[in-house]
């Protein structure tokens, strides 16, 4: 029911299938911000921060999931000056979705997640790796693992890879100004201890790779990533790993 694409530049894209609408999802196992990079690349971004708790009666993921009248979120978050995106706290909403996944499977949970959002919206779900593993278990989704310039970066990134790979997901490393040796250590540890050859997405390529590899609903009209005028129109590509 849910498909993801993989990027040809990494030698992994399978037979192309055009997408023409519907929201798309890219999970990130960190609160490291990728929003600016994607809005500047012409994406209609909605950030769901599952490390932040919803407050009040509206504005958060839990409110959107509970209110059937909420629809087309992200329709107005058009690319602008690189700061024009919607940010939603989502800790309680993600807990609800994980409970749905545990009871009825990831398909049902993802259908709930996609329902309130507009066609063409690119959802960036920031959440701990353990929560993403629980939500997406059984779905061969790409998950970005940012590698940040901090002392514990290699340990945190390797831990995220271990959780996600163990759940059958496809983690990719996304360095943010991380030291080359730190990134090399993570790649080497994943290869030796997890038998995982983790792809690395340079930050400059996120604007193309994220939309191309995002998770989409196969039963909905297909997703077309936005492109900046300088790049011109370019549809993403995906084929189902399962349906």
Q: CA 127: distance to chain centroid?
A: 10
Q: Locate tokens 């080497």: which residue?
A: 188
Mean pLDDT of the chain: 78
Q: Both tokens of residue 64?
A: 């959107």
d(CA 46, CA 121) in angstroms, rounded, equals 7
Residues 16-26 have pLDDT tens digits of 222 345 789 99
> Where do the domains of the chain lie, and which CATH numbers do they carry?
2-69+78-217 (3.40.50)
Half-sphere exposure of 205 (CA within 13 A, CB side): 16
Rounded to two decimals, what is the model's pTM? 0.80
Q: CA 154: distance to chain centroid?
A: 21
d(CA 139, CA 46) in angstroms, rounded, equals 21
| 227 pLDDT above the threshold of 90 | no
Q: Both tokens of residue 192?
A: 């030796």
| 219 pLDDT above the threshold of 50 | yes
| 129 pLDDT above the threshold of 80 | yes
pLDDT of residue 136: 96
Q: How confident is the model at residue 183 (pLDDT cuts 50, 70, 90)?
A: very high
Q: Locate tokens 């949970």: which residue?
A: 109
Contact 79, 43 (CB under 8 A): yes
Contact 180, 193 (CB under 8 A): no
Q: What is the mean pLDDT of residues 189-206?
A: 93
CA dihedral 107, 11, 164, 161 (to 10 degrees): -160
d(CA 164, CA 45) in angstroms, rounded, equals 23
Partners of 14 in the beta sheet? none
| Size of the chain, expressed as the number of residues it contains | 243
* Closest residue by Cα to residue 106 from 150, 138, 82: 138
Contact 122, 23 (CB under 8 A): yes
E strands, 121-161, where? 122-126, 142-147
d(CA 47, CA 38) in angstroms, rounded, equals 11
Instruction: Return the higher-pLDDT residue of 12 and 184.
Output: 184
């Amino acid at each position: 029911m849910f498909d993801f694409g993989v990027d040809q530049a990494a030698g992994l894209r399978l037979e192309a299938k055009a997408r023409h609408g519907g929201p798309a999802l890219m999970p990130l196992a960190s609160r490291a911000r990728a929003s600016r990079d994607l809005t500047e690349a012409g994406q209609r971004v909605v950030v769901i921060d599952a490390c932040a708790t919803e407050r009040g009666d509206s504005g958060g993921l839990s409110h959107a999931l509970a209110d059937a009248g909420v629809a087309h979120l992200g329709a107005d978050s058009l690319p602008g000056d690189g700061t024009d995106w919607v940010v939603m706290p989502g800790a309680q909403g993600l807990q609800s979705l994980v409970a749905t996944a545990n009871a009825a499977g990831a398909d049902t949970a993802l259908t709930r997640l996609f329902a309130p959002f507009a066609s063409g919206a690119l959802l960036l779900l920031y959440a701990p790796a353990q929560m993403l593993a629980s939500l997406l278990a059984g779905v061969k989704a790409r998950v970005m693992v940012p590698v940040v310039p901090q002392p514990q970066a290699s340990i945190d990134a390797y831990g995220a890879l271990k959780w996600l790979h163990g759940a059958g997901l496809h983690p990719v490393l996304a360095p943010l100004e991380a030291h080359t040796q730190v990134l090399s250590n993570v790649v080497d540890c994943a290869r030796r201890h997890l038998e995982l050859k983790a792809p690395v997405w340079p930050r400059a390529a996120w604007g193309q790779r994220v939309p191309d590899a995002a998770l989409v609903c196969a039963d909905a009209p297909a997703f077309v990533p936005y492109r900046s005028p300088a790049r011109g129109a370019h549809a993403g590509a995906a084929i189902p790993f399962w349906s």
